[in-house]
Amino acid sequence: MFIDTENILKLAIRTTEKPVSLPHFKKFILKSPYIRQVAFIGKAIFDLPDFVELIAFCSQQNLSLIFGEVGPTSIENIEALVKYGCVMAINIHEGDPNIQKIFDFQSKYCLPVPEVNLIVKSDVKRTPQDSLSDTSYAFYNLADDTREIACLNMLEEPLVDYDGSLLGCWQNPDKKHPINLFDLGMEKALNTKHYKSILKMLKTGKIDTSCPCARCPIFVSLLWANKTIDVRERVMDK
């Protein structure tokens, strides 16, 4: 099974802990010509000293960007979110003074992007039932709707950590990850034995303890429901 990365156009980068290293990220993008969209998840990306250079570089490479959360940041960084026209959407907390600054820059540059989505603080009181985690007994219904199941992210929009560690999907429970996407590039990383063994485990339902899925409640739920997922067929051949 060969994973043809020409069809994988999106990448998500988790920057909840730290920002990416710009040279490392640039090197990876330059050898991954098929990527068209990068989503940065987590506000630590705004701690990058070269944030404006990051946006300018992505604009030169014709990449569309999404920011999952805007953190406290400089006016130069807020201006860059608008000025280069490559940031398609941002999520920002309701009441953040940067919202008005973004609208002001949109007027200045006559640009309709980025789309500004508000993160609204919820006043809804949580019940113990609401706070059941994915690791609680509620696991049994996690694979109810396999059209939206997190495993599809493995090829739809692979997730890496800020340092390039390849997580694959949002539910990966492991702390150590043996593949570095930024070092290997998309094609080599997704065609490693380890990554393909994860896809194989999902397809066959046979447990391989070297795979993160062996420790994931979603896989337990698939087993419980007697389901398997051929991620490659679902994502690449649709």
**Would you tell me which residues interact with ligand SF4 (CB under 6 A)?**
150-151, 154, 169, 171-172, 212-213, 216, 218-219
CA atoms of 215 and 210, how far apart (whole Å):
10
Cβ closest to ligand SF4, residue 58 vs residue 229: 229
> Which of 43-79 are b and which e, b meaning 16 or more Cβ less than 10 Å from the residue's Cβ?
bbbbebeebbebbebbbebebbbbbbbbbebeeebbb
- Burial of residue 188 (CB within 10 Å: 0-12, 13-18, 19+) is middle
* Residue 6 neighbours by CB distance under 10 Å: 10
Residue 203 neighbours by CB under 8 Å, 6+ apart: 228, 229, 230, 231, 232
Q: Minimum CB separation from ligand SF4 for residue 34, in Å? A: 22
Q: Minimum CB separation from ligand SF4 for residue 150, in Å? A: 4
Q: Minimum CB separation from ligand SF4 for residue 205, in Å? A: 11
Cβ closest to ligand SF4, residue 19 vs residue 212: 212
Closest alpha carbon to 166 in 195, 196, 207 = 195
Closest alpha carbon to 208 in 199, 173, 217 = 199
One-letter amino acid at 138 equals A
Cβ closest to ligand SF4, residue 188 vs residue 227: 227
Q: Minimum CB separation from ligand SF4 for residue 135, in Å? A: 12
Cβ closest to ligand SF4, residue 44 vs residue 151: 151
Cβ closest to ligand SF4, residue 79 vs residue 156: 156
Q: Minimum CB separation from ligand SF4 for residue 82, in Å? A: 35
Closest alpha carbon to 181 in 198, 167, 196 = 167
Q: Minimum CB separation from ligand SF4 for residue 234, in Å? A: 12
Cβ closest to ligand SF4, residue 92 vs residue 154: 154
